[in-house]
Structure formats: C-alpha cells, structure tokens
Amino acid sequence: GNSVTQMEGPVTLSEEAFLTINCTYTATGYPSLFWYVQYPGEGLQLLLKATKADDKGSNKGFEATYRKETTSFHLEKGSVQVSDSAVYFCALSDRRGGTYKYIFGTGTRLKVLA
C-alpha cells in the first residue's frame, strides 16, 4: 500500500542554518505530495504542495521538489529562524476508486536555537 517515510527527529539547528528534512514515499498511482506544519498546541497547516513530477512547491522560504525517479519530496530552507520551530509532516494523497485518502508521515520535530 501507499506509505510515507520521513526522517526521525528531533532536528536541532542554530538560527540561519540550512534545513533539510527527508521524505520518501511509496505509491501505486500518481499521488499529490504535501508538507504540513504543526505549531505547539495547534492543528496542522498546509506549508506547500506539489501535484506532479518535477513540480516545486514553495512557501515562506521553504521548498520541496516532487522527484518521481527517487520517490522523494525533501523539505529545504536556506536559513531557518527560531519561529520555524515546529513539527513538520510529509503527506501524500491518492485516489482509490471514487474516493481519495491522505497518508501522513510520522512527523519531524524541528528546534531552532537562537
């Protein structure tokens, strides 16, 4: 079945460091890929998405490219800030018959130190 695997955290970085959070997926069809962010005590918010191969999603300085050949959707940011501290979830959605289903990775906690 479909699945999403992301690197375990926590990831601890100093402010202005470069961030990469790895995400790989398995899917039988042509899924859409998403990154969501969860701040403490809150629900998830969409960070960015990509709907087909080679698409690049970007938002708030974060980027991720849909790589079909490596089945990956790694999240990157060139210079993190303390306010980026949160849990990041990689997810895919795929059509199953007449419905669709979202599958989430286990989340990666990011801590950015001033």
Q: What is the contact surface with another protein in residues (CB under 8 A)? A: 31-32, 34, 36, 38, 41-46, 49, 51, 87, 89, 93-95, 99-104, 106-107, 109
Nearer to another protein, 36 or 62 (CB): 36
Q: How far is the CB of 79 from another protein (least distance, A)?
A: 25
Bridge partners, 103 (sequence order): 92
Q: How far is the CB of 16 from another protein (least distance, A)?
A: 25
Q: How far is the CB of 37 from another protein (least distance, A)?
A: 11
Q: Do you find a cis peptide bond into 10, omega within 30 degrees of 0?
A: yes
Nearer to another protein, 15 or 42 (CB): 42
**Distance of alpha carbon 98 from alpha carbon 66, whole angstroms:** 24
Nearer to another protein, 16 or 42 (CB): 42
> How would you label 95-109 residue by residue, b for 16+ Cβ within 10 Å and e otherwise?
eeeeeeeebebebbe
Q: How far is the CB of 75 from another protein (least distance, A)?
A: 15
**Distance of alpha carbon 25 from alpha carbon 5, whole angstroms:** 6
Nearer to another protein, 41 or 114 (CB): 41
Of the candidates 63, 66, 65, 67, the residue with the CA atom closest to the CA atom of residue 80: 63
